Amino acid sequence: MVGDLLFTVNTVAPLMLVMLAGFLARRLRIMDDVGVKQANSAVFHIFLPVLLCMNIADTPAGLAVDVRTLLFGLLGVLCSFLLLFALAPRLCPPREARGVFIQGVARSNYAIYGIPLVMLMYPGAETSVAALMVVAVVPLFNVMSTVALMAYRGTRASVWGMVRGVLTNPLIIGTLLGFVLWRLRWPMPDVLHTPLKLLGGVATPLALFLLGASINFGKARANLRLLALGVTGRLVLLPALFLGLAVLFGIRDVALATLVAVFASPTAVSSYPMAQQIGGDADLAAAQVVFTTALSGITVFAWVFVLRTLGFLG
């Protein structure tokens, strides 16, 4: 239990400190709104796509495939989005905020936050299911988030318009390219692999820094009801539903820990630049990432503690 508590502190505190640095940079006028917007565009079009591509491409080949857990994660994420598409018009009256609300609740920070969680919970164990889950859920996160944002960005979106938006989304292109490289097992030469890994390594700290620079607590207060609903849905309600189902289906130990990482992790950092670039309430998107990340230290610890106490996590 102490180890899990230390992990959550050691995971969340650095993220919050990077966001704090961005917040202070904006308040000290080291950066202005134009600079933040331009940097977010670079994160969305360059750094995050490269990060997703390399994360998937570098997934080891020949791993044992836990089809049941991967399928549960895939279908669970899909059901999360479909459920929120149905509920959003009632829960979220402002149309321009619905797409942001949907992705903020349904889309977790699995690749950045979740995989290290599983590795720490089971050091030295066979955790291939956690690595392969990236291939299962990350493309779906990006496709469904793009559809949600385009559907509610304030203009009537045609089916072709949404399909084109999905196909031209840099995050989806990066994900698909990574999947192709992973399947082909093309031996990428170091002269390409090294700079691509360096570019991808910029994505998370820069996205967090810019997120902090974009925080406006006044606007967060204006979105307080939606923010509370989004945080509760992301950290409490969805994990309760899908982890409960996973336990009923007999999923245990490393496989269950992987699903904890999928369904209980905070909102993906990439949600904010994606909302800003595609359209939607960017202030709400930023607030969802900030508050789910901050509170996940409590909620993830609680989920792990409860599941271990009940004997579902060995």
pLDDT in tens, 219-262: 667 678 999 999 999 999 999 999 999 999 999 999 999 999 99
Q: What is the pTM of this model?
A: 0.81
Could you tell me the two tokens for 280? 């939607």
Q: How far is Cα 178 from Cα 270, in angstroms, rounded to an integer? A: 17
On the 0-12 / 13-18 / 19+ scale of CB atoms within 10 A, 124 is exposed
**Angle at CA of residue 260, ends 255 and 261, nearest 5°:** 95
Which pLDDT score is estimated for 279? 79
Average pLDDT score over residue span 78-98? 93
Average pLDDT score over residue span 124-148? 84
Q: How far is Cα 75 from Cα 69, in angstroms, rounded to an integer? A: 10
With tokens 């905070």, the residue in question is 266
Q: How far is Cα 176 from Cα 56, in angstroms, rounded to an integer? A: 9
Q: How far is Cα 101 from Cα 88, in angstroms, rounded to an integer? A: 8
For residue 108, the 8-state DSSP code is B
Higher pLDDT, 172 or 1: 172
Average pLDDT score over residue span 143-160? 79
Higher pLDDT, 164 or 110: 110
Cα–Cα distance list, 226 to 89, 144, 149, 188 (Å): 12, 20, 16, 45
pLDDT(280) > 70: yes
pLDDT(314) > 60: yes
Which pLDDT score is estimated for 223? 79
Q: Which of 10-14, 51-55, 90-94, 275-279 has the highest mean pLDDT?
A: 90-94
Q: Which of 290, 276, 279 is nearest to 223 (CA)?
A: 290
Provide the 10 A C-beta neighbour count for residue 11.
18
267 forms bridges with which residues in the sheet?
Answer: 108
